[in-house]
Amino acid sequence: KMDGFTATREIRKTIKKDQLPIVAMTANAMKGDKERCLAVGMNDYLSKPLNPTELYGILENWLLKK
């Protein structure tokens, strides 16, 4: 079984952050979660329940960087 942190670490071994954005989506909005996600190589972070405006802004930000 692989969690998002492990998956991100594996992906980042071969694909850089600027080549493939990874955005975390979690129901566990605990203190330090965002920092942990970014530290393992994720580009951004969303917590549930999703705010549509925040989701749109993050997607727009990463999709327009291409």
Cα(6)–Cα(19) distance, integer angstroms: 18
Q: What is the pLDDT of residues 21-36, one digit of tens each?
A: 999 998 877 888 899 9
Which range of residues forms the domain containing residue 15? 4-64
How far apart, in Å, are the Cα atoms of 3 and each of 10, 33, 38, 51?
A: 11, 14, 15, 23
Q: What is the pLDDT of residues 41-56, one digit of tens each?
A: 999 999 999 999 999 9
Q: How many domains does the chain have?
A: 1
Query: 66 pLDDT band (50/70/90 cuts)?
Result: low
Q: Are 58 and 46 in contact (CB under 8 A)?
A: yes
Q: What is the CATH number of the domain that holds 53?
A: 3.40.50.2300
